[in-house]
Homo-oligomer: A and B are copies of this chain.
């Protein structure tokens, strides 16, 4: 399983995304077109759409969310790109990250020079109470669901095991949420682009306006400990430990390395990538690590020829706050069992030594499941180019990493992007 060398290099030269949120009256098609148009405008030296040769679409389940299967050619048609080959890729919440990988392989194969990769999910058409059940079909339906598990439960099990083994507390997880909401407050595309303190004050103002008793919270942590403001979903995962139900789309444009400078003086190169699969959670030796993430990370570092220490920042799959902590360990940023201490110490904050989820992450930016993997790449592309606006990291950046997980780690896909010069 040692990763080999690609027959030729691949670079990113454009990226775009829709706003993430809850958009009644918009379908996957509308969101995808929104992201596509922003991508077209993002290409520094311009792109003639007729140069695009193939389309990959990550999507978890338009089938279940919108009653629409076979969406890849629909996205091709609505972007005006028919009759190019259009392929849907599905690996649960890692669908878009895996779609990106397929796009990279397609360019590397020599078959295409210019490939569009996107991800899209429209989740809010389904009744809210059905969404968790729908997402649960990404677990093992034969063995895990009959035991009563859905994803908040899986990650709660991982969180309690992690607390037991390493000493983290529920406050550790809250601090991850506070950080990601702080980051997301600078992201105009985020679904919940507000600091926890802002949400707290809004709640107080709302109570006052209604003439209800105004809750007194000393700080964000006290607010997050309030069972009414932040109810447990599956203890120790509370509402603000969980990513939301979201609609959204994101796309990127891939080109072969040899033509990349025709599109941009600063292409962002794919330096490394890795992907691995695993059996269901009930069948693993550990609850406090995701083996497929470790493997995918190792493959990506080996291919890029770098170590975790050389990664300047990362977008990781924080579907739940515990997942971010485990991710930072699986990716080798911190030792196993020490990620929670790094999070508490602020090492993963904007001004820390290893900033994680500058976009706000899935927690604050939103998690349209089949789009998230490419959404992460949009953030890395912007940060590496200095185009991230208010949330731009004010450091010299060379390597950014994305980590995208399907299920509880039945799929994990990691990419490392590089800015040269």
Q: Write the residues of chain A forming the contact surface with B, with a CB cutoff of 8 angstroms.
A: 1, 3-8, 27, 29, 53, 55, 60-61, 63-64, 66-70, 72-74, 76-77, 82-92, 98, 101-102, 104-106, 108-113, 137-142, 275-280, 283, 291-292, 295, 406-407, 410-411, 413
Contacts and interface: CB of A to CB of B under 8 A. Distances in A.
Given A64-B63, A110-B5, A279-B82, A89 B88 contact: yes
Contacts of A73: 91, 277-279, 406-407, 410-411
A74 B142 CA distance: 11
20 contacts: A3-B111, A5-B110, A55-B277, A68-B137, A69-B90, A70-B92, A70-B411, A73-B91, A73-B277, A77-B277, A83-B276, A83-B291, A85-B277, A85-B413, A86-B277, A87-B91, A89-B89, A102-B105, A105-B105, A109-B109
Contact of A110 (B55, B108, B141): B108
A-B residue pairs, 4 tightest by C-beta: A7-B7, A85-B275, A73-B410, A108-B109
Given A83-B278, A88-B89, 19 more contacts: A4-B110, A6-B111, A7-B108, A7-B109, A68-B137, A69-B137, A70-B91, A70-B137, A70-B407, A70-B411, A73-B277, A77-B277, A85-B275, A85-B413, A87-B98, A88-B91, A89-B89, A105-B105, A105-B106
Contacts of A411: 70, 72-73, 86
Contacts of A91: 70, 72-73, 86-88
Contact of A76 (B70, B101, B138, B277): B277
Contacts of A76: 277
Contacts of A138: 69-70
A190 to B, nearest CB: 26
Contacts of A64: 63-64, 69
A278 B82 contact: yes
Nearest to A68: B141
A27 to B, nearest CB: 7
Contact of A60 (B69, B82, B283, B413): B69
A115 to B, nearest CB: 11
